[in-house]
Each structure stands twice: as structure tokens, then as C-alpha cells.
Amino acid sequence: MQLSGLVLIAFCFFSQKAQAQLVYKFVKVECNGNASRVRNESCSLKAINWNVGVLNGELVLLGTVWNPIIQVQVFKKDYANQFKPFLIDVKLHMCQVIERKSFIPYGVMMWKILKKYTNLNHSCPYSGHLYAKDGYLTSDVLPPFPQGVYIFSFMFSDENSTHTEYVGTLKLYTEVMEKVKSRKKPKAKGN
């Protein structure tokens, strides 16, 4: 499934290559946490221009997340405005990716993004105040997706040899579209 997803995305890449530049614009965000593992979680988007909305978010971990697992799932909005699973459904063992014991492509992408925009830029485990600042996606870190509206869902859990505990979820509604070029920039004021 995962490999066929990559192959299909690679196919989309080659068939879209000659076309206009794509942008991945965050349009809505939802986050929630397991109240016995997370406090004070918040997340929000700020519009920067026609092509970019940036993500800010934070939370406080109660205790320690020793072995974070991220389940990444992608959903695409169809013609009936329903979100349907879209190719990617993968479970990332982030400590292994960070320690370079796993080179799973989506894990490597995730780690690049986390290092750039969050304070999760160190090896396992994680505790305390975690945040993401002014995060956004660009076409050079992601495989090209067909144009449309997606949900990128990230479900975080903590796993040991016997238990898996849900920690929290981040859902990013993202519009994949051609870059808007000719219009004037909106005033750089955020909301």
C-alpha cells in the first residue's frame, strides 16, 4: 500500500511536471490531546498571502513520551465533498527515524519538517512544552499531489512493548493548488 502510494505519487509528479508550480496551503487546523497525557494544547493558522497559511501550535506534555509513533493518514475531498482515504496510511516510529535506524521515506520527510518548524528537533524522549512555529509545506519537501483539498492527519501515540497510549491528533486541511501569481499581496497583517 505504502509503496504503491509512492509509485502513484511519483507518477503524478511526472505527469504534472510541466505544469504550473503547486502550493500546499493550510486552510484549517484541528488538534486535540489525551487529557491524561497533554495539557493546554492549541493550534491556529495565520494567512500570510494567497499561497501560504502558517501553522502555530503548542502543548505541554504530562510526563514523558518515550517512543512517539505517528500514524499519518491522508484523505482527499471527492466530488460529493466527502473526505475519502487517499493512498497514504503509514505508521512512523520516530525514534528509529531520528536515530537513522529507519529510512522510511515519509518518516524522513516528517523529521525534516519537525526539525525546521518545531522544538521537537532532538532525539527521543520528549517532555515538557512542545511547539510548532510558523510551519508550512512547500513543494520541495513533499511528493506532488493532484490538485484538491486534503486532510493530512497525524495521530501521535506512545508505545512500549506491551502498551500503546493515545497522545493526540493534528489534522491539517490543505489545499493543493496552482500558485497564485498575479494578484496583489494582501496586507501583511495576519488575521
Ligand X SMILES: *[C@@H]1O[C@H](CO)[C@@H](O)[C@H](O)[C@H]1NC(C)=O
Q: Cβ 47 to ligand X, closest distance in Å?
A: 23
Contact positions vs ligand X (CB under 6 A): 34, 36-37, 39-40, 60, 119, 121-122, 160-163, 165-166
Q: Cβ 104 to ligand X, closest distance in Å?
A: 22
Select 28 or 122, whichever has its Cβ closest to ligand X: 122
Select 121 or 127, whichever has its Cβ closest to ligand X: 121
Half-sphere exposure (CA, 13 Å, Cβ side) for 89? 7
Q: Cβ 117 to ligand X, closest distance in Å?
A: 8
Collect contacts of 34-40 with beta carbons under 8 A, ≥24 apart: 34/165, 34/166, 34/167, 34/168, 36/62, 37/61, 37/62, 37/63, 37/65, 37/158, 37/165, 37/166, 37/167, 37/168, 38/62, 38/167, 38/168
Query: Closest residue to ligand X, Cβ-based?
Result: 166
Select 165 or 175, whichever has its Cβ closest to ligand X: 165
Select 36 or 138, whichever has its Cβ closest to ligand X: 36
Q: Cβ 38 to ligand X, closest distance in Å?
A: 9
Select 81 or 160, whichever has its Cβ closest to ligand X: 160
Cα separation of 59 and 132, whole Å? Answer: 9
Q: Cβ 30 to ligand X, closest distance in Å?
A: 16
